[in-house]
Structure 1
Amino acid sequence: QLQCGEVLLEITQIGKECHTHCAIYQRVGDCIMPREGVFARVLRGGTIRVGDDMQCIARTQPFAFQAAVITLSDAGAAGTRKDKSGPMIAQRLRESGYTVIEQLLLPDGRERLEHELVRLCDQRQPDLILTTGGTGFSQRDVTPEATLAVADRQVPGIAEAMRAASMQITKRAMLSRAVSVIRGRTLIINLPGSPKACMETMDVFMDTIPHGLGLLRGTVHDCARA
């Protein structure tokens, strides 16, 4: 949060893609928005003047974890199949107290997914991103590869736990190639494509990952139990 006099702002995004040379570029001769632009939500309004001091302050109250949901489906992106998994995941996140900041529906493939994962993690900076689809054996199922390509660190235990639990339901769970990783301060988890399987795999980690998200956020500092 940023405070300037009576004004209180909450940063929602750092940087923004420059798709065309806007007025800022025309005026300064450089595309500064991706690296210097910041966007904020006004929590308490007022007047800000040139020369006023602005301070970065810690939040005084706990706040909800933020999440994004990405569905990977050629048919869904083409409009020939309704996306059921994405909305179900988003609804469950909201019911669990998360703020869902974005829902995306993309065709299968690496380039677009890698781009959106990087944008979300580096600019919107949610605590959690859940992807659904693209984790199987099909030639177009490349969600794990795209996820690993943008990762800073891996968190194999989450994906392993999901497969272990799903194996109790269907032996085909061993064919899942889903991964779980960290980029920056964002946890990314690949979920299967079917709505039923998404709910089953979310059962595995929803009660556990808040501790990890708190560690990433810096609000939890000790993993030891009394």
Structure 2
Amino acid sequence: MGKVIAICTSPARGTQKQPVPAARFTVDWGVVGDAHGGNWHRQVSLLSADKIEAFNARGADVKPGAFGENLVVEGIDFRSLPVGTLLRCGGVLLEMTQIGKECHSHCEIYKKMGECIMPREGVFARVLVPGEIKVGDEMTLEPRTAPRPWQAAVITLSDKGARGERVDESGPAIAKRLQEAGYEVVEQLLLADEAAPLRTQLIRLADQRKLDLILTTGGTGFSPRDITPEATLTVADRTAPGIAEAMRAASLAITPRAMLSRAASAIRGKTLIINLPGSPKACMECMDVFMDTIPHAMGLLRGEVGDCARH
């Protein structure tokens, strides 16, 4: 159990948040009157009070709102909680959606201290049930009444698609199939065939959003611009070659050109990453191979199921 010791808002982006005694929280936005709200996953930002106290003990001298946080709470170590944690405060119900955040420019705190704790310790949430939170209100962890849906992202790699010269059909087809299977597809991205942006997005989705599954489509062939497998493997903690091997084996029964696929499958943290080919038809054929099996793999990564031993 924790206690809210500060609520902070700002009317415009780029300005420091200021403490307020109470605030209303709404679905599809976040904190009423806060410029960082919106219909996205980072509606509300939270920081543990002890992290700010420890930072101030080193001479930072910062006050609530300095890091852009909406809620400062004592008694809960947000950084130790998994994405998907439900937080109840009064009538408001929040769901944690992201841990940490990349800083694109260094703030005054960073310039003074050489670091900022928000990218490392801050967490983000979305509002599931609206209501009001006041300073002094208690915050508790809410148990789930049903398993959290698998969360996934789909990334299309296509130079022509990124330039607007070709309509992406594979990405939406993959997302639709995942949604029909009960997955929550939280992001769909369209990138050029460049290794650095792909690595950046894979790291962000795995490390901050803590997704169960990332499916890429495109960039798995022999063209000099086909860099998806290499980019995937450079961010991997472990490989999961059996999935890619099974897709190639099944595809060889359809076309001998399947042997030219360089698709990889790997694990980063608790996220499974699978490369799919570029055509919608081939994507569906490959998904036929693993859709029934990977829930067990993702359950193992979440720590929700036992090992694979057969008796």
Scaled by the length of structure 2, the TM-score of the pair is: 0.67
Match of 1:32 among 91, 107, 117: 117
d(CA) in 2 for partners of 1:86, 1:21 = 34
Alignment-mate amino acid for residue 160 of structure 1 = E
Structure 1 unpaired stretches of 5+ = none
Q: Percent identity?
A: 72
d(CA) in 1 for partners of 2:91, 2:305 = 30
Structure 2 unpaired stretches of 5+ = 1-85
d(CA) in 1 for partners of 2:113, 2:167 = 45
Alignment-mate amino acid for residue 210 of structure 1 = P
Matches within 5 A, 1:172-211: 172-211=257-296
Deviation at 1:25, TM superposition (A): 6.1
Deviation at 1:125, TM superposition (A): 1.1
d(CA) in 2 for partners of 1:144, 1:157 = 15
Matches within 5 A, 1:139-178: 139-178=224-263
d(CA) in 1 for partners of 2:304, 2:250 = 29
d(CA) in 2 for partners of 1:23, 1:42 = 30
Alignment-mate amino acid for residue 156 of structure 1 = P
Work out which of the two has the higher radius of gyration on C-alpha atoms and give 1 or 2: 2
d(CA) in 1 for partners of 2:113, 2:149 = 38
Alignment-mate amino acid for residue 90 of structure 1 = A
Equivalent in the alignment of 2:218: 133
Matches within 5 A, 1:35-184: 35-184=120-269
Counterparts in 2 of 1:66 and 1:23: CA distance versus 1, 3 Å: farther
d(CA) in 2 for partners of 1:7, 1:29 = 36
Measured on the aligned residues, the alpha-carbon RMSD in Å equals 2.2
Deviation at 1:189, TM superposition (A): 0.1
SS at match of 1:40: strand
- Is the counterpart of residue 17 in structure 1 residue 111 in structure 2? no
Deviation at 1:214, TM superposition (A): 1.1
d(CA) in 2 for partners of 1:57, 1:224 = 33
CA offset digits 1:45-99 (Å, max 9, x no partner): 3443445443445423122101000000111101111111001101111111101
Counterparts in 2 of 1:24 and 1:90: CA distance versus 1, 3 Å: farther
Deviation at 1:144, TM superposition (A): 0.5
d(CA) in 2 for partners of 1:80, 1:35 = 39
d(CA) in 2 for partners of 1:28, 1:42 = 33
d(CA) in 2 for partners of 1:7, 1:185 = 29
Equivalent in the alignment of 1:220: 305
d(CA) in 2 for partners of 1:123, 1:9 = 17
Deviation at 1:223, TM superposition (A): 2.7
Deviation at 1:8, TM superposition (A): 2.4
SS at match of 1:188: strand
Alignment-mate amino acid for residue 42 of structure 1 = V
- Is the counterpart of residue 3 in structure 1 residue 101 in structure 2? no
Comparing both structures, which one devotes a greater share of its residues to helix? 1
Deviation at 1:115, TM superposition (A): 0.5
Deviation at 1:35, TM superposition (A): 1.3
Comparing both structures, which one devotes a greater share of its residues to strand? 2
